[in-house]
Amino acid sequence: KRSAESVLEPVATSITGKESYQFGDLTRKVLSDADEALATTRDAYFEELPAAMWRQLFGGLTPQQRSDVVIALCQFTAVCVLSLSLVSNLLQGAFFSVAWGLSSRHSRLSPLAAGQWPALLRTHATLRLALGPLLLPAELTAAALLTPRYRRAVAALQARMPLRASQPVLSRVCALAVAWALVNGVAVLAGTAAGVAIAAAVAGVPVWPPSGVVLA
């Protein structure tokens, strides 16, 4: 009996004109051409997608309107990032306060005393590794809920900027910078300091060691 391959190969050879033709060459060639066509189409799609999205979103707007929309989107993105940063910093401050209390309770010494600071850092790192991933969904949810309030706070600061009429973009940037310094900086530090004080009181160990601050 002759196999199907031995029957079809002479026919394919006569059609293609290739003496070295083997069964399956034509199929592989078609599949290879199809893969190349799909790759070309995919590359072209991803290259043209940003321009198409831009035309869809901003095609009917004037240059001034497009500029205003882009600036508003940038400001909203910055507020979202700052909100997430605030929640993350508050959480890290809470971890630090808990680590302070645990370290103080275990050693009966302040972490500011000689030789105690590395133990505090190890405890803090352990809490972050153990609880950080578990609290990530709550952290993202809190940031999403905080974003509208943070945006209103930035808008209130922007309304008080002296250059809000003549330099609106500069006033937005200044408002974001002031909000970051006051809320993400000063407020977080104050909250962490309060947390440390509470943790020290619960542990029954003063924050400041009697011999003074020695971090060696």
Each of the 216 residues of the chain gets a pLDDT tens digit; together they read 444 445 445 544 444 444 454 444 445 554 565 666 666 666 665 666 666 666 666 666 677 777 777 778 888 899 999 999 999 999 999 999 999 999 999 989 899 888 889 999 999 999 999 999 999 999 999 999 999 999 999 888 888 888 777 787 788 888 889 999 999 999 999 999 999 999 999 999 998 887 666 665
Using the structure block, give the residue that is written with the tokens 């250059």. Answer: 163
How high is the pLDDT of residue 5? Answer: 47
How high is the pLDDT of residue 212? Answer: 61
pTM of the model: 0.67
Burial of 99 (0-12, 13-18, 19+ CB in 10 A): buried
How high is the pLDDT of residue 41? Answer: 64
How high is the pLDDT of residue 210? Answer: 78
What is d(CA 187, CA 102) in angstroms, rounded to the nearest whole number? 24
Length of the chain, in residues = 216
Contact 113, 211 (CB under 8 A): yes
What is d(CA 57, CA 70) in angstroms, rounded to the nearest whole number? 11
Burial 23-45 (b: 16+ CB within 10 A, else e): eeeeeeeeeeeeeeeeeeeeeee
What is d(CA 143, CA 138) in angstroms, rounded to the nearest whole number? 9
What is d(CA 144, CA 150) in angstroms, rounded to the nearest whole number? 10
What is d(CA 107, CA 84) in angstroms, rounded to the nearest whole number? 34
How high is the pLDDT of residue 25? Answer: 44
Contact 122, 148 (CB under 8 A): no
126 Cβ contact list (under 8 Å, min separation 6): 99
164 Cβ contact list (under 8 Å, min separation 6): 158, 171
Tell me, what amino acid is at 101?
Answer: G
What is d(CA 80, CA 78) in angstroms, rounded to the nearest whole number? 5
SS3 label, residue 62: coil
